[in-house]
A and B are shown apart, each in its own frame.
Chain A
């Protein structure tokens, strides 16, 4: 299939891009790597009047390590993270996640900003950034704002992004020296979208454990019951399974027996990975 006709604009600044994206009476879309938007336009499940090319805006490109953590520009590609071109403050977690997204030819162009903006329920970055307590920096017609990724992502393909707003990048708080993480993902074929993803992160010795399950429901969700059990450190396997079941009952209430086993196994695998560190 081919995309329906649209107009194309390559603005020179974030302000210009924001004004174009907020134009009244037009369906507009930003394009970064195009690795999700172009399939949607080609398949004609998305229709636009105006395409705003943000892929050359330098303000969205910067990757900076600061005393408080890491700033990753929205245009950073999965491949750049996979290849270690982003400082590794998280014990290899970002590289591990990036290297398993889709295929290399897609990772070379797909961006972390596009992945979070789209908020596909099965995407890898929203859950990962939530588990790391990251926030998203946004520029728009009424200035800049910042929000936790866990608040920004609202549902399936749904975020708090308003007309004319653009993701500039993400801020990942610096973890303590004893950061530990676990990551598990179930895919039918390597590179395909996942049927279940779990992250377990402890950002420091006395920091709270964060458990996030993605690809299970409309959006990635924290699993507080499971996290609490891990926090106490004494959970038996049975108690842990019961905690996971309580989290699943909240997040995936309509899960069938297979999905319950699937998500339980993914979370348990991520916990094993986390414990091994």
Chain B
């Protein structure tokens, strides 16, 4: 077991972890943060996406022990994030979710896209979402929601 310190959703805390434990399992099983979902556990589906030191990361492809000293935001920690607030509303309005399994990863990647592109078009969003798999919606609603959120944020900051 190894001692680590994490800044998790704004709170710093020490933990002991087994080296093989992924960040995803650590978040879900040790911290009870179950917004982070696990689909494939090998980087293909994107359901487990979190923010690590400000950058999107697959939490199934990070070891908790390697995150020592780093800062992590899960969907729970982005509740009051201004971009997330807009995105969440548009996901609701555009029917961008059905079962909800992919939704935490979609929201985190959606926010990442809106931080890197100003008012992205549908084609850019489809390309950038190619690593997030949804088995329900057919993606149309998700893409619409991110386009609309991008427009709203773009208009507000013009």
By size class, the interface of chain B is 20 to 34
Residues of B112-158 at the interface with A, using a CB-CB cut-off of 8 Å, are: 112, 116, 127-128, 130-132
Measured CA separation A103–B130 after assembly (Å): 7
Across the two chains, which residue of chain A brings its CB closest to B18?
A: A5
Residues of A1-26 at the interface with B, using a CB-CB cut-off of 8 Å, are: 1-8, 10
| Top-3 shortest CB links A-B | A103-B131, A8-B19, A39-B42
Chain B: residues with CB nearer than 8 A to chain A? 2, 18-20, 22, 25, 41-43, 46, 49, 52, 55-58, 60-63, 65-66, 68, 109, 112, 116, 127-128, 130-132
Measured CA separation A57–B127 after assembly (Å): 33
1/0 per residue A31-73: CB within 8 Å of B?
1001100110111000000010101000000000000000000
Measured CA separation A4–B19 after assembly (Å): 10
Say whether B61 contacts A190, CB under 8 Å.
Answer: no
Q: What does DSSP make chain B's interface, helix, strand, loop or mixed?
A: mixed
Choose from B2, B42, B112 the contact partner of A43 (Cβ within 8 Å): B42
Q: Which residues of B contact A109 (CB under 8 A)?
A: 52, 55, 57-58, 61-62
Say whether B130 contacts A35, CB under 8 Å.
Answer: no
Q: What does DSSP make chain A's interface, helix, strand, loop or mixed?
A: loop
B1 smallest CB distance to A (angstroms): 10
Say whether B130 contacts A34, CB under 8 Å.
Answer: no
Using a Cβ–Cβ cut-off of 8 Å, how many residues does chain A contribute to the interface with B? Answer: 31
Q: Which residues of A contact B116 (CB under 8 A)?
A: 104
Q: Which residues of A contact B43 (CB under 8 A)?
A: 35, 38-39, 102, 106
A134 interface residue (CB < 8 Å to B): no
Measured CA separation A2–B42 after assembly (Å): 10
Across the two chains, which residue of chain A brings its CB closest to B69?
A: A56
Measured CA separation A105–B56 after assembly (Å): 5
